[in-house]
Amino acid sequence: MDERRHNDPFLSNGLSRKQSIRGRKFFKKIFDKGFFIRGFLLNFWVYQGPETAGNPAPLLGLMVGKKVYSRATQRNLWKRRVREVFRRNQCKIEKHVAMIVQARAHKQVPNCEDLQLELEKFLKKIESRQ
């Protein structure tokens, strides 16, 4: 396999661990200093600061509460679908951005096409803010 493929997040098949937001402090900073966008299926918090400046790709944090989807299988399916949509569209997102995506309550876990449309609307709103 091509060595370059392992190092470039845009050519790999999945998200690297460096692209996932972990840690309570960083989540809190994004909530406090980032801006919020409410969507139909998802809520977004976006932050661009000194902590994200050195990243070669956008960062993603996911939140799915037990009140939204009570079963762990539903929460995990939701996370897998959002990660996949994010992975496909990460080249459209600025490299030095950290964002948190939160699920909103619906009867069923949305499919990838609906999440794709929601992400596209979100990206247009980000562009209009800058």
* CATH assignment at residue 36: 3.30.230.10
Is residue 102 pLDDT above 80, yes or no? yes
- Which residues constitute the domain of residue 29? 3-129
10 Å CB burial of residue 37 (0-12, 13-18, 19+) is middle
pLDDT interval class at 1 (50, 70, 90): very low
Q: What is the pLDDT of residue 130?
A: 65
Cα dist from 48 to 5, 19, 54, 105, 130, whole Å: 26, 14, 11, 27, 11
pLDDT interval class at 54 (50, 70, 90): confident
**What type of residue sits at position 117?**
L
Is residue 45 pLDDT above 60, yes or no? yes
Cα 56 versus chain centre, distance:
15
Q: What is the mean pLDDT of residues 116-130?
A: 86
DSSP assignment, residue 124? H
Model pLDDT for residues 15-39, shown as the tens digit of each residue: 788 888 988 999 999 999 999 999 9
Is residue 11 pLDDT above 70, yes or no? no
Q: What is the mean pLDDT of residues 62-86?
A: 92
Give the CB-side neighbour count of residue 32, counting CA atoms within 13 A. Answer: 7
Number of domains comprising the chain? 1
| pTM score, whole prediction | 0.81
